[in-house]
Amino acid sequence: MEKISFIRKAVVSMFCSFGICNLLFGGISWVETTGSAGWAGRGAHTSVVFDGKMWVLGGNNFAGSTICQDVWSSTNGVNWTQVAASTAWSKKWDHTSVVYDNKMWMIGGIYNSIFYNDVWYSTDGAGWTQATSSAVWVARGSHASVVFDNKMWILGGAADQTGCNDVWYSTDGANWSQATAAAGWSKRFSHSALVFDNKMWVIGGFASVDGNDCNDVWYSTDGANWYQATAAAGWAPRDFFGATVFDDKMWIFGGEDTLNYFNDVWYSSDGANWTQATGTVGWAAKAAHTALSFDNKMWVIGGANNSASYSDVWYSTGTGVEEKSNIKNQISKIETYPNPFVEKTVISYSGNKSTNNPPQAEITIYDITGKLVEEPKDNIIGKTLKSGIYFVKVAGYKPIKITKMGEIK
């Protein structure tokens, strides 16, 4: 059995001669917009998308032992504007934020070992109004919040270092109703929650009962009844990781366990089966960062580890390559020949020497966003394509299997 192999020599030579040595073989690509945003390095902050901007609210500069009370916004991840140096809500971290009813909301959090159950909202990030100083749910931090079914929800969290697995919802931020006092998932904090496929999802976190990190995944359509998608996802148990929904998938980014920091990236379309998008990325292994989807990109913002509190900002379009399987007794070699002077790329392939029959393959071409742009009938392509970066996916025939995509130009 011999698997497809790309002859990368021509590809690498072509890319490096044009200064584009950002090959995507084996993983998705990440771009750093800034290594030092205007705001101080921090973790356990929140980020939302509101009014056509990304926002950073509060957090903890662990390196400087400073709790933040500021609000920043950006339209591109490079240039950040300080909207408020201090706010009506107190300095805090491990709070949650959502966008609901055309407002940004700040919910709960921690400052100087004080746990909060206050709720605030703003329409501009500068002026904040308190919806309640003391919600009915126990004060907490490291909880999770989502907007679902036209309500704001809080799920679990840490109350005086004791984990919670209760679920509450509100339509106005002042009046809260309990969906359940004890969800099916164990008491936990520093987990993530998403809304996907018309369900709320609870992912991973730190289980306070046994003191272990989790990699289980749960979902609910009503907040009261929870179902386990998997008891053990493919990624290592962790807490304080980022999560977002992008390209019709749930994604998680980095995080920590009791011994390690991570910078791996995983995605799933059903919560049960997870695929690793890349082993490592440009941003440091870290935790307490935020992740969001904005401008058709996934973003990872800030975070911290034992070495530093970060103010870096990274994005990815989610386009990458993935090896699914080997192709048995079909194609032994693939060669790509980028030509900088002619809008044409030749892809040639040859069969396994042990195979008497001519090789058969199915070639498809994708653009940088992952959109299918061409299904050529032969091995000469490119006249219908503009100059740019494309991905070539080659599948064998009998059986049809997908192998690596290669980036060519």
Selected residue with higher pLDDT from 74 and 347:
74
- Tell me which of 131-135, 241-245, 344-348, 385-389 is least confident: 344-348
Residues 300 and 378 in one domain: no
Rounded to 5 degrees, φ, ψ at 74 are -155, 145
Is the pLDDT reported for residue 327 higher than 90?
Answer: no
The predicted pLDDT at position 335 comes to 43
Q: In terms of pLDDT, which residue wins out, 327 or 189?
A: 189
The answer on pLDDT for 49 being more than 50 is yes
Domain containing 354 — which CATH number? 2.60.40
Average pLDDT rounded to a whole number, residues 60-88: 95
Give this prediction's pTM. Answer: 0.75
- Of residues 80 and 400, more confidence is placed in 80
Count: domains in the chain: 2
Phi-psi region of 197 (alpha: psi -120 to 50; beta: other; left: phi over 0): left
Domain boundary among 316, 342, 360: 316
Indicate if 372 and 241 belong to the same structural domain: no
Query: In angstroms, rounded to a whole number, what is the distance separating the alpha carbons of residues 163 and 9?
Result: 54
Structure token pair of residue 199: 């369900």
Containing structural domain, residue 341:
6-25+322-408
Q: Which of the 8 DSSP states describes residue 363?
A: E
Q: What is the mean pLDDT of the chain?
A: 80
pLDDT at 399: 35
Amino acid at 172: D
Question: What pLDDT, on a 0 to 100 scale, did the predictor assign at position 398?
Answer: 39
Calpha distance 409→406 (Å, rounded)? 10
Residues 174 and 229 in one domain: yes
Helix (H, G, I), strand (E, B), or coil: what is residue 232?
A: coil
What's the confidence (pLDDT) of residue 211? 87
Q: Please say which residue of 252, 281, 316 terminates a domain.
A: 316
Query: 362-391: per-residue pLDDT in tens?
Result: 566 655 555 666 555 544 444 455 655 556
